[in-house]
Amino acid sequence: MTDAIRRSRRSSGRLTLEDVARAAGVSPITVSRALRGERSVDPVLVERVREAAARLGYVPDPAARALASQRSTHVAVLIPLLTNTLFVDLLEAVQRTLRAQGFQTLIGVTHYDPREEEQLLREQLMHRPAGLIVTGFERSEETRALIQASRVPCVHVMETSRAPGVHCVGFSQQDAGQALTEHLLARGARRIAYAAAQLDARVMQRAEGYRRALQAAGCYDPALEFLRPEPSSFALGAQMFGRIVAEAKPDAIFFCNDDLAQGALMAAPRLGISVPRDVAVAGFNDLPGSDQLLPSLTSVRTPRREIGEEAAHMLLQLMRGEAISTSCVELAWSVVTRESS
Amino acid sequence: MTDAIRRSRRSSGRLTLEDVARAAGVSPITVSRALRGERSVDPVLVERVREAAARLGYVPDPAARALASQRSTHVAVLIPLLTNTLFVDLLEAVQRTLRAQGFQTLIGVTHYDPREEEQLLREQLMHRPAGLIVTGFERSEETRALIQASRVPCVHVMETSRAPGVHCVGFSQQDAGQALTEHLLARGARRIAYAAAQLDARVMQRAEGYRRALQAAGCYDPALEFLRPEPSSFALGAQMFGRIVAEAKPDAIFFCNDDLAQGALMAAPRLGISVPRDVAVAGFNDLPGSDQLLPSLTSVRTPRREIGEEAAHMLLQLMRGEAISTSCVELAWSVVTRESS
DNA sequence: CTGAAAGCGCTTACAG
DNA sequence: CTGAAAGCGCTTACAG
């Protein structure tokens, strides 16, 4: 009889359930159940197991667990970009909330490309994620089918939908767009342009809110919509600003995102345009820098951190098979009035 | 005899090696070897297996693979922030390169906190990553020991070191800081301030380059170093700019990062300071927006995308156990001269 | 409430 | 070059 535990040739040297079981004087399966918090384990044994696991420094093997249970502790997150602070804030909130519950986040950056999204999702699904967070509702039929067929719990972020069976956390992009436009109207503007890039679903929903406000005020003019499909950037904002002012002579411009609006404000002195005297400017998302520029930028503060937290919480409930109170959480935004309009 | 394959109660319904083996008329282990590209498999069989796998749409189970081989296809990456474009660019390059070779990236954001880094690393190591990428060399002794003990191949990014056994991809922060300071000297500046935040190792290495240049020119003055430990931001740059100009009356300011410098440029009109007439300004990293501001910002273009790619390639070699040519790759940066100095 | 057996889908180590 | 057996470290499904 020797104290040394004989290990097979292939042992990883890692502590296993069996080591803990031996230390606690129970069977491995009881350790498994106790550690996972399954009820129907004698509280006394649970305590003994917990103590032994802690003392030995036992850490369950995620691969073995995933193989045996057919579910991992990975959560796949699909977002369009990492270069927009919006999504970084969202992501950090998701990651912080999920980490605290033992889940890892696998990030997929789609670059607003439906084919890239589909490819990323396929790769992520191979890892049998326990949950999925995707941005908005706009995607290829194939991607939608993959999500459905995978039966992986899924939460949509940024937009809202009341469709049955859909889980989402976001806010009404349309209402926010409308409110910002109404702010510009209230400041006396009548020829209000909408300047947008990327043209993803959310940008177009803001456009819809813009139209609604202007139609209600009787001053909607389709010629004042400037829609560019390329990615949003400071440079594009600067370029669009110069052109729109020269061509359309608006008294206000609603840029669909702060980066475009910031680019416009940076270019204004060079173009010899005074904001808001010559033209008022507003952005969307209230990104870093908008409060620093001269003039400071009027924008819409969007609840991305809250969206990330709520979405993670909702997903945790879904992954645990718990009943959830609301399948669609709508969060609040606010218009931030500054010097530019 | 029935065509339906009888599956056990616990089958995941997933295609397995055995399905492919049956289709190809070989044993499962041969399929495993063929698909992993192990030599010592008859090329004819390899072809037959490949064809069968492709036809059936077989995808190996990462969990089973990880459990059996004691190594996953995860690569853990530790970076300080996601809110600095610098690290996003780095990360995207890493992710793109590794994905192409079948590896997944697990991102850990340390927020420049050694304790958070250690905690994240512990969590990541539980997943037995196949490789590790960490930022710089500054970390707790515990974290260093964890990396060492894990025996997971590790590449350090952003900085360089010739220490034996260390793998790194980066550039000389000190040389770059020196070159930018020399540029300011060449433009006639003598009272050159160094304005820094966060004060991580790289920021201090740039400071060292700044000192070297000024000492060589005989105009180093410690009173012109303004070091703030809090995180870098536009607002802090604006605040520091006003104070430094008022207190020290420098003829140039070298901000350790573009976000500080951009904040300064945004605040300049409000403060009634004309750049570069009253004071020249330079930044570091050439972030988005630096070419758009008025005046446009002189900066140092840093090779973060290249660092990401090279680091991923180096790590791939290490993970495959291949011999690597250089364990320290030093990449080129360049001073970008614009209107601000 | 507890446990022995079987299995998750791969790879390793050993034979031949 | 190929394969049968055993094993990676867990959890499921079945008994009791």
What tokens does B305 get?
A: 């995308």
What tokens does A133 get?
A: 């967070």
Q: Which residues of chain B are within 8 Å of residue A105 when distances are taken between CB atoms?
A: 106-107
The C1' atom of D4 and the CA atom of A7 lie apart, in whole Å, by 22
CA A120 to chain centre: 16
Long-range pairs for A237-240: beta carbons < 8 A, 24 or more residues apart: A237/A195, A237/A197, A237/A261, A237/A262, A237/A263, A237/A264, A237/A267, A238/A263, A238/A264, A238/A266, A238/A267, A238/B292, A239/A263, A239/A267, A240/A195, A240/A197, A240/A264
Q: pLDDT tens-digit profile of B316-332?
A: 999 988 888 899 999 99
Q: Is A301 helix (H, G, I), strand (E, B) or coil?
A: strand
Give every CB contact of residue A166 below 8 A, 6+ residues apart in sequence. Answer: A137, A156, A327, A328
pLDDT of residue B2: 34
Q: Is B113 within 8 Å of chain A by CB?
A: no
Residue B131 φ then ψ, to 5°: -155, 170
Q: Which of B61, B92, B293 lies at the smallest CB-CB distance from A82? A: B92
A240 closest CA partner among A264, A269, A256: A264
What tokens does A27 get?
A: 């069977």
Q: Which residue ranges have CB below 7 A from strand C? A: A 9-10, 26-27, 29-30, 33, 39-42, 45, 64, 67-68, 70; B 7-18, 28-29, 32-33, 35-36, 58-61, 64-65, 67-69
pLDDT of residue B7: 54
The number of C-beta contacts closer than 8 angstroms across A and B is 100
Identify whether the C-beta of residue A258 lies closer than 8 Å to the C-beta of residue A299.
yes
Going by the DSSP 8-state scheme, the letter that residue A61 receives in this structure is -
How far apart CA A202 and CA A174 sit, in angstroms, is 8
What tokens does A70 get?
A: 């057919």
Q: Could A104 and B85 be called an inter-chain contact, meaning their C-beta atoms sit closer than 8 Å? A: no
Q: pLDDT tens-digit profile of B146-159?
A: 998 888 999 999 99
Q: Is A228 helix (H, G, I), strand (E, B) or coil?
A: coil
Q: Which residues of chain A are within 8 Å of residue B123 when distances are taken between CB atoms?
A: 99, 104
Nucleotide nearest to A68 (CA to C1'): C8
- Rounded average pLDDT over B324-341: 95
Element (H, E) at A336: strand A334-336
Averaged confidence pLDDT in chain B: 93
B282: closest CA of chain A, how far (Å): 17
Q: Is the pLDDT of residue B41 over 80?
A: yes
Which chain B residue shows the shortest CA-CA distance from A296?
Answer: B266
- Rounded average pLDDT over B292-304: 97
pLDDT band at B6 (very low <50, low <70, confident <90, very high): very low
| Whole-number Cα distances in Å, B24 to A67, B2, B19, B31, B36 | 25, 19, 9, 8, 16
Element (H, E) at A156: strand A154-158
Q: Domains of chain A (ranges plus CATH)?
A: 17-60 (1.10.260.40), 72-171+305-333 (3.40.50.2300), 174-301 (3.40.50.2300)
Q: What does the longest C-alpha to C-alpha distance in chain A come to?
A: 93
How far apart CA A301 and CA A332 sit, in angstroms, is 9
β pairing state of B154-158 and B168-170: parallel
Query: Listing from the earlier edge strand, what are the strands of the sheet with B328-330?
Result: A328-330, A168-170, A154-158, A131-135, A74-79, A104-109, B104-109, B74-79, B131-135, B154-158, B168-170, B328-330
Q: pLDDT tens-digit profile of B92-134?
A: 999 999 999 989 999 999 999 999 999 999 989 888 899 999 9
Nucleotide nearest to B18 (CA to C1'): C9
Q: What does the longest C-alpha to C-alpha distance in chain B come to?
A: 93
What tokens does A126 get?
A: 């191979």
Identify whether the C-beta of residue A280 lies closer than 8 Å to the C-beta of residue A184.
yes
Q: Is the pLDDT of residue B23 over 50?
A: yes
Q: Is A236 helix (H, G, I), strand (E, B) or coil?
A: helix
pLDDT of residue B8: 61
**Each residue's pLDDT tens digit in chain A (341 positions)?**
333 344 566 777 788 999 999 999 999 999 999 998 887 888 999 999 999 999 998 888 989 999 998 888 999 999 999 999 999 999 999 999 999 998 999 999 999 999 999 999 998 988 889 999 999 999 999 999 999 888 899 999 999 999 998 999 999 999 999 999 999 999 999 999 999 999 999 999 999 999 999 999 999 999 999 999 999 999 999 999 999 999 999 999 999 999 999 999 999 999 999 999 999 999 999 999 999 999 999 999 999 999 999 999 999 999 988 888 899 999 999 999 999 99
Q: Can you give the three-state secondary structure of chain B, one letter per residue? A: CCCCCCCCCCCCCCCCHHHHHHHHCCCHHHHHHHHCCCCCCCHHHHHHHHHHHHHHCCCCCHHHHHHHHCCCCEEEEEECCCCCHHHHHHHHHHHHHHHCCCCEEEEEECCCCHHHHHHHHHHHHHCCCCEEEEECCCCCHHHHHHHHHHCCCEEEEECCCCCCCCCEEECCHHHHHHHHHHHHHHCCCCCEEEEECCCCHHHHHHHHHHHHHHHHCCCCCHHHEEECCCCCCHHHHHHHHHHHHHHHCCCEEEECCHHHHHHHHHHHHHHCCCCCCCCEEECCCCCCCCCCCCCCCEEEECCHHHHHHHHHHHHHHHHCCCCCCCCEEECCCEEECCCCC
Q: How many C-alpha atoms does B127 have within 13 Å on its Cβ side?
A: 30
Q: Which amino acid is at A174?
A: Q
Q: Which of these ranges, A69-73, A293-297, B178-182, B191-195, has the smallest mean pLDDT? A: A69-73
Length of chain A: 341
Q: What is the Rg, in whole angstroms, of the alpha carbon atoms belonging to chain A?
A: 26
